[in-house]
Structure 1
Amino acid sequence: MLEPAPPSTPSLRAAGMRQTPQREGILRVLKDSDRPLTVEEIWERMPERRSGLPTVYRNLERFVHEGWAESIMGPDQVMRFVRCDSRHHHHHLQCERCGRTTEVDACGLDASLTELEKLSGFRITRHQLMLFGLCGACRAEKDR
């Protein structure tokens, strides 16, 4: 069974970054959302919008690099960002109805990827898997 990933708190200073209200605001917005957000949605939800969209983009890029966030391509081909609690390899489940996203601390693809490497001659360095379905709340609502 897939288990939700344990929460963790990123340390801006430990990553060599200054602790600014803008960075803290971006991280807080991501943490408070259970759905992936566009850069514009993140900016609109920031308590103090003293920074422009380019600053939000740059910080999100760094947060993805640090493993604190992940970029997810939406069905409308718009890039969205979701907060990641685990710093190691993981995947996400997303509800097709409400958009709620859950991080899962499981993969299970190692054997398949090893076989794929043998068949293709590729050395697989990373992968990203997005799983879609209906969350418990939407399933219960649909069953009513």
Structure 2
Amino acid sequence: MRQTPQREGILRVLLDSDRPLTVEEIWERMPDRRSGLPTIYRNLERFVQEGWAESILGADQVMRFVRCNSRHHHHHLQCERCGRMAEVDACGLDASLAEMERISGFHITRHQLMLFGLCPSCRAEKDR
């Protein structure tokens, strides 16, 4: 993929955020805002295909994007209080997925798991 200022700007915004962002939030944080929303959408779609970002449907049914450090299968944890997100380079669902395939007759090609809880900072605040 060709390197462009717009792509670099989008990736920089995602890298600088510890929370998933909507397309509008990404646009608002871009330094020069030369890119329109359609350009950002197209680039994010490509980043997801390449494994550089992941799209996450929030509890409010709004799609947000997060930069992924891992290029292979992984999961994310999100703090229910502050929205901070952590990437976890682990899955551990292989046996459960095989059992689901056996029971359903489906061949599972992919899955996405979001885990929610309290981050260390919010847990410390709660305990005070």
TM-score range, shorter chain: over 0.9
| CA displacement at 1:51 relative to structure 2 | 1.1
Aligned-pair Cα RMSD in Å? 0.5
Structure 2 distance, partners of 1:123, 1:76, is 30
Paired position in structure 1 for 2:86 = 102
State the percentage of identical aligned residues.
Answer: 88
Q: Residue 22 of structure 2: which of 31, 38, 47 is its match?
A: 38
Q: Which amino acid aligns with 2:56?
A: I
Paired position in structure 1 for 2:110 = 126
| CA displacement at 1:130 relative to structure 2 | 0.2
Between the two proteins, the alignment pairs up a number of residues equal to: 128
Paired position in structure 1 for 2:67 = 83
Structure 1 distance, partners of 2:120, 2:2, is 39
Structure 1 distance, partners of 2:14, 2:35, is 16
| Dislocated runs of 4+, deviation >2 Å | none
Please give the secondary structure, in 2, of the residue aligned with 1:70.
strand
- Kindly provide the CA deviation profile for residues 70-127 of structure 1, in whole angstroms up to 9, marking residues without a partner as x: 0001111100000000000000000000000000000000000001100000000000
- Contact 1:22–1:48 (8 Å) recurs in 2: no
Please give the secondary structure, in 2, of the residue aligned with 1:82.
strand
Q: Which amino acid aligns with 1:85?
A: N
Paired position in structure 2 for 1:62 = 46
Please give the secondary structure, in 1, of the residue aligned with 2:66.
strand
Structure 2 distance, partners of 1:26, 1:93, is 22
Q: Higher relative contact order at CA 8 Å, sep ≥6: structure 1 or structure 2?
A: 1
TM-score normalised by structure 1 residue count: 0.88
| CA displacement at 1:52 relative to structure 2 | 0.3
Structure 2 distance, partners of 1:48, 1:109, is 43
TM-score normalised by structure 2 residue count: 0.99
Q: Which amino acid aligns with 2:15?
A: K
